[in-house]
Structure 1
């Protein structure tokens, strides 16, 4: 199965929330939708599941238009701003949703509910009223809702928000299991690149409603050391460094792409008592889009010690 977005555009009045957004995701693939708050991630997901209408563009499931065939939405397991009935317990909330989805076999209902509650770690809390749940527990319950009825597509809006470390690892493992063992297509959003880069097959970066990056995660990071040309031992140092694998030397500049090799070069610099002029981090394209220049400062501190 394949989900395709073609030139999806969304205006709220005069505000452009999405602009000519195109992408695709196939069964068994995990795609991380990354962007800062307000970048358009949630709007895009709401368009995908037809919660809001696009201004233009098409969204296709196996070449069928979602807006022309709204029944296709039944193929999506969705976590977007979940809301539950506070005066009901977790189990009954999910049961109500299954019944509303047309499931009438009560044995199937009971089996699935117990299965998904176990998966998200809420078995012991399933009879508690939702009003007593923390935000993180409601997030887990929202994920359980998305997993009901074995949908082939999972659309998860910031499923890691509000969870502790163990909760985040639990959700990541569920995402991997659903995609790699059960061949589901998973797209999930987050504003933290470090949280998703090891989980995703592909990362899409969105900024101001536009797709800026779509590809595998490769930070492409390089470290550049600039030496004081007046240092008396610079020639001996460069002769030594030239033989180190993956080191590029141009005049008084040394470039490496590996932290371990960087540490090796630093040891040689200290040994030869060569002075530093500057130290730079040259980021890959995705990192440059997403992050600031904080690491430059941290590396300089490291070198000073």
Structure 2
């Protein structure tokens, strides 16, 4: 059954690839970009397949209601919201300025939160229509939403916040036939590590961190750009399958809250789970002895 997708950050990467996969499968797609003139090739590719494009900067809170109204008017409502727009702010936590921190959270957390709140009435109505089998909210997170490397403090904080929101949202909206899916990619060969999608603090890495673990991690990211092992097309195909209940991963539809993607993601998640389990076991006796006598 064809549904209407609303995908933010459709100018490149997962957003563009997912839009094209959905359109090829016969679904309706409304993609958003911050500036159509700067994203001309993506806009042309989506429109050539019958999709629609709206301009939206997710950090502009006052623009969201009007854009949501436009989106709902195109096909009579949105069935699937994909919060994909985002970027990474990488560097030492100590070096980050207040405005840089706020912009990271505005883009990766508050933008998705506002879109969810604005579209929930539509998603709720569509999810309970007899001819529509389910509405879906897809929040694109990251393996860094669990496992935090040096230099990723604020980026990971934004993704931790999005994951916490999604946990509660899944419980609150299940009764309305709305499914919530958190997508947790590892390293995929998109433009994510490029200068267009990754920002560094305004000031250079401060002296205490030069030559240390933060500096080394940033150098690894620079070297990895364009060499990531993950195929983004395969990643978005798995996302599409889980959302629609079709294909190789279709059997997972409605059964999972989190979709890890990539061998590196699985390895890092297993490591994080192991460290959590270790802390729990080491502190169990102390933790269990804190009730009133």
Q: Shorter-chain TM-score category?
A: 0.3 to 0.5
- As a proportion of its length, which structure holds more helix? 2
TM-score (normalised: structure 2):
0.33
TM-score (normalised: structure 1):
0.32
